[in-house]
Structure 1
Amino acid sequence: MGLPTVAMGLLGTAMSPVTAAAMLVVPSFVTNVWQLIAGPAKTRLVRRLWPMMLCILLGTTLGSALLVRADPVWSSVALGVALIAYAGYALFSPSLSVPPRMEPWLSPIIGIMTGAITGATGVFVIPAVPYLQSLRLDRDELVQALGLSFTVSTIALAVGLVLHSAFHVGQMSLSALAIVPALVGMWLGQKIRNRISPGGFRLCFLVFLVVLGLDLALRPLLT
């Protein structure tokens, strides 16, 4: 969950969110596919979650018009609010559980909402992550489900940016350059995670997202 979320926030402090989203297409795709294929539940999860994935694809592709056309200042504000909302939910959320009978109609709604927010901000996590956590998947299935959701979101965002002439072939090489530092960052993060408690790692990560989100959301008021 860290790469697209943190990278969008950090890059958003130096460039418009649409430029940051285009830069992250290739490394996000590579790391999320890696997360998706590293387990045995791929086929089962696709069969279970395809309505949500289809709606993420549609919502993101259509919603990307907001990211392309909106004033970069307010796109950054929206990105900051999304980061704060996700971190706040993760810090204080109750333990939720979605009954199986609700999945057929709730999954498409979550997919559309996630797609719209992804298209508008470039952040994939709201409300997909809380929803997938509420399905009570085991740890490995949850990791793969997140990889599936983020892979679909990345593809849909790339398609949306291409359709709105915001992602060009020339940007592919710049985006590809980010693969190596992304993989190094994943390796480094695993090393750090093994040296501190899971709770401490999670708390530091989420507090960092709140601070980053506040910086993005309040910047127009401070300049």
Structure 2
Amino acid sequence: MPDAVNQPDDAIARATSHYQPAQLSPAEFELFVASLFESLASTRALSELRVENHEVIRGVDGAYDFDATVRFDVAGMEFLILVEAKCHRNPIKRELVQVLHQKLQSVGAQKAVLVSTAPFQSGALEFALAHGIALVTVTEGRFTYETKSAGRSSVLSRAEAAAYGLPIFVGHGYSRGDSPGSVRVTVMSPEYPEYLAEHFLPSQ
């Protein structure tokens, strides 16, 4: 899939806008984000995984209120993931990702993740890929599966998607592809915690 590297910084990164935005409430969004990280407890040799909403952490230059934090131990070492959740309609700008990166450095966390209902601008995606910030866009499982009838494509209803075993909501995470200027898109869902682990957990 083509990357956004050669697009203007304020253009929407194509890799992050492949699917329609999810139709969900702020409460549903918050529950989905929490479920993503809680599902990590079933992967690898994690112990004492804790997901906390709106934790205030003091850094070297002030205190920050994060939408969520994820703490866990691996082989006796403590890890901290910072989570910012943006239930937005407008594309996410580079500046928001830069601010999250600064917060990560200030509090000394190991990882930062920005989860959004909106796509990311090209500059935001490129900065995130360069600095190890994980980006996730949220859509609905039904938007990822097309049916064709009489030469026309149609979108499944939620009930139809459930009959196919598709989750209501899914996320998509981004990493550099194998070829220059490409982006790999990975499904992010509590049903597939092993993919979440690849993006969010330290390599062993």
Larger strand share, 1 or 2: 2
Larger helix share, 1 or 2: 1
TM-score of the alignment, normalized to the shorter chain, above 0.5: no
**Relative contact order: is structure 1 or structure 2 higher (C-alpha 8 Å, sep ≥ 6)?**
1
State the TM-score, normalized to the length of structure 2.
0.27
State the TM-score, normalized to the length of structure 1.
0.25
